[in-house]
Amino acid sequence: MAAVHEHAPETGPAPQRYGEPVDVHLILRRGNEVLLARRAGSPYANGLFNLPSGHVDGPDEDIVDSVIREAREETGITVDRADLRLAVIVQHRNPYGKQRTGWFLEARRWTGGEPRICEPDLCTEMGWWPMDSLPEKELVAYCHAGLDAYRRGQHVVLHRQQPGDTVAYQPQGPQRSHALPLTRADSIQPDNALLAFAERVAGPVAEVEDTSWPRPESQVWRLTTEAGPAVFLKVHQNAHFHEREVTALRGPATALGEHAPRLLGADEQLSAVVISELPGRLLKHLMLPRTDLAQVYHQVGVLVRTFHDAAAPTPGPAPTDYAHKVDRHLAAARPHLGDGDEDLVRALVARLDHISPLLHVPTLGDLADRNVLVADDLTARLIDYERSEPGPMVRDLVRLADEWAYRPDLEAAFFSGCGRTPTPVETALLPVLEVLDAVSGIAWGSANGGRDRHLVQRGQRTLARLRAAIPKP
């Protein structure tokens, strides 16, 4: 039997494989600030700001070793491997056609004191800059591409400059970055029935992207149609959620106009909807200047008041109805509660006996930064209506209260847009709704192997805040 060769015999010189440099960039954070250094001593990008950075020095050094070395050489600090996190990967082509791949790693802890200039022939200035106020016109375009992706929550970016582009970032110039969406290990595709429903509504589909939250019950896809516009296909986890979202999109959400998605189609049997795509990014993923963030919250207040006023108020049931699930939620949440938490919950729930019934209006039910879209011009829009139903106005303040707990300016901006503040009765009801939401979130988030850990943490934060503000009985 003839011997089996691992490689075919060579008939000529082997073609040379393409190779490119590997860069590392350190995103060193101090609160909302990042460390930048002004380059010197090189004709390329001389005088421009950049992150502490450099090249991987051969096969015996990995990207983590490299960024630790560069940090020590350039800034005099020591970063531990355990404190580094992958932020962004950028494949960059400069205006001269040279290509490289950069690994941007984040660190928020270090030793060695304040970073300082350790290579004065290569750096003339070093300092901290707010993430929301970077010296963009003085940034290397490559560095800006990585930092901008980092601020947007993007993780893999192609930055392809063209001949004639400047090495410095040009805010008014053509934008050369293209972010690649990430897939998930549990990513799924819509089945044939769902895809057929979507195509009946929106036309032939050219591309499907899974945009679900990382939890089993979330099924949302962004569909790019052959005609061009993108739409979203969403499957609700049960008929109740489906009915609530469809009712809201056909009813009070229409009062929001372009600030809410349009319902393009609904299938009751599939518990699915097709809705229009809105421009913007989730407020949850943005780091906006204080004044811009206040402007967004003012708009959210206007939109929420519009939603509440979209139907005539109706008499609500007795507030004691809110307590019917408390024992079940406490049983599930108890392993994650702190000392005195259960007593606090029961003391607040007992207040329901003394609170008068409130008028019910259309409410969103899940008003939080993850359901607010913000466009580049700071226009705000509201998404996700599957928890919408009639309720007291303060139902929509429950999750906002966690976000503005330490930002009274955002609370003031919201109520300025809303045009009214809670009445004394609504003020009395709000902490009760907050504590019920906290316990429900802890119970829900700790189920399914703790996949919704953020719900547990939010609930624990709420309980700690209420415990500090409200004396124990």
3-state secondary structure of 172: coil
Residues 237, 240, 244, 250, CA torsion sign: positive
Strands annotated E in 57-198 = 84-93, 99-107, 123-130, 156-160, 177-179
Of 105-114, 413-422, 437-446, minimum mean pLDDT range: 437-446
Angle at 332 between CA 331 and CA 335, to 5 degrees: 90
Would you state the pLDDT for residue 355?
92
Q: Indicate whether 295 and 414 sit together in one domain.
A: yes
Q: What is the mean pLDDT of residues 107-122?
A: 94
Q: Is residue 12 part of a domain?
A: no
Q: Indicate whether 170 and 200 sit together in one domain.
A: no
Give the structural domain span for 260: 192-276
Residue 7 has pLDDT above 50, yes or no: no
31 against 342, higher pLDDT: 342
Strands annotated E in 385-447 = 389-391
Q: How many residues does the chain have?
A: 473
Residue 13 has pLDDT above 80, yes or no: no
Residue 287 has pLDDT above 90, yes or no: no
Q: What confidence tier does 220 reach under pLDDT thresholds 50, 70, 90?
A: very high
Looking at this protein, which amino acid is placed at residue 241? Answer: F
Per-chain mean pLDDT for the chain: 89
Q: What is the dihedral of CA 87, 444, 212, 453, to 10 degrees?
A: 10
Q: Indicate whether 432 and 452 sit together in one domain.
A: yes
Q: What confidence tier does 9 reach under pLDDT thresholds 50, 70, 90?
A: very low
Contact 23, 105 (CB under 8 A): no
Q: Indicate whether 285 and 271 sit together in one domain.
A: no
* Number of domains present in the structure of the chain: 3
Q: Indicate whether 323 and 211 sit together in one domain.
A: no
Q: Indicate whether 244 and 266 sit together in one domain.
A: yes
- The CATH number assigned to the domain holding 257 equals 3.30.200.20
Q: What is the mean pLDDT of residues 98-116?
A: 95
Q: From the centroid of its chain, how far is CA 330?
A: 29
Tokens representing 89 are: 């990967």
- Look at residues 155, 179, 203 and tell me which one is the last residue of a structural domain: 179
Backbone angles phi, psi at 389, to 5 degrees: -170, 165
- The CATH number assigned to the domain holding 336 equals 3.90.1200.10
Q: What confidence tier does 6 reach under pLDDT thresholds 50, 70, 90?
A: very low
Looking at this protein, which amino acid is placed at residue 286? Answer: L
- What digits encode the pLDDT tens for the residues 458-470? 888 889 888 888 7
Q: What is the mean pLDDT of residues 21-46?
A: 91
- What digits encode the pLDDT tens for the residues 241-263? 999 999 999 999 999 999 999 99
Q: Is residue 17 part of a domain?
A: no
Q: What confidence tier does 132 reach under pLDDT thresholds 50, 70, 90?
A: confident
Would you state the pLDDT for residue 250?
98
Q: Indicate whether 268 and 293 sit together in one domain.
A: no
Q: Indicate whether 310 and 398 sit together in one domain.
A: yes
Q: What confidence tier does 367 reach under pLDDT thresholds 50, 70, 90?
A: very high
Distance (Å, whole) CA 349 – CA 341: 12
Q: What is the mean pLDDT of residues 11-27?
A: 83
Q: Is residue 303 part of a domain?
A: yes
Q: Indicate whether 312 and 383 sit together in one domain.
A: yes
Q: How far apart are the first and last CA of the chain?
A: 89
Q: Is residue 8 part of a domain?
A: no
Residue 185 has pLDDT above 50, yes or no: yes
Tokens representing 59 are: 């096969």
Contact 273, 201 (CB under 8 A): no
- Look at residues 179, 203, 233 and tell me which one is the last residue of a structural domain: 179
- Look at residues 179, 207, 222 and tell me which one is the last residue of a structural domain: 179
139 DSSP 8-state letter: B
Residue 449, phi-psi category: left (phi > 0), alpha (psi -120 to 50), beta (remainder): left
Q: Indicate whether 398 and 356 sit together in one domain.
A: yes
Q: What confidence tier does 2 reach under pLDDT thresholds 50, 70, 90?
A: very low
Would you state the pLDDT for residue 426?
95
Using CB atoms within 10 A of its CB, is residue 59 exposed (0-12), middle (13-18) or buried (19+)?
exposed
Q: Is residue 16 part of a domain?
A: no
Q: What is the mean pLDDT of residues 231-235?
A: 96
Q: What is the mean pLDDT of residues 312-316?
A: 95
Q: Is residue 186 part of a domain?
A: no
- The CATH number assigned to the domain holding 144 equals 3.90.79.10
Percent of the chain with pLDDT over 90: 63
Would you state the pLDDT for residue 4?
39
Q: What confidence tier does 210 reach under pLDDT thresholds 50, 70, 90?
A: confident
Q: Indicate whether 260 and 123 sit together in one domain.
A: no
Q: What is the mean pLDDT of residues 404-427?
A: 93
- What digits encode the pLDDT tens for the residues 59-98? 889 999 999 999 999 999 999 998 899 999 999 999 999 9
Residue 448 has pLDDT above 70, yes or no: no
Q: Is residue 294 part of a domain?
A: yes
pTM to 2 decimal places: 0.65
Q: Indicate whether 250 and 272 sit together in one domain.
A: yes
Q: What is the dihedral of CA 61, 63, 67, 68, to 10 degrees?
A: -60
Q: Is residue 423 part of a domain?
A: yes
Q: What is the widest separation between alpha-carbon atoms in the chain?
A: 93
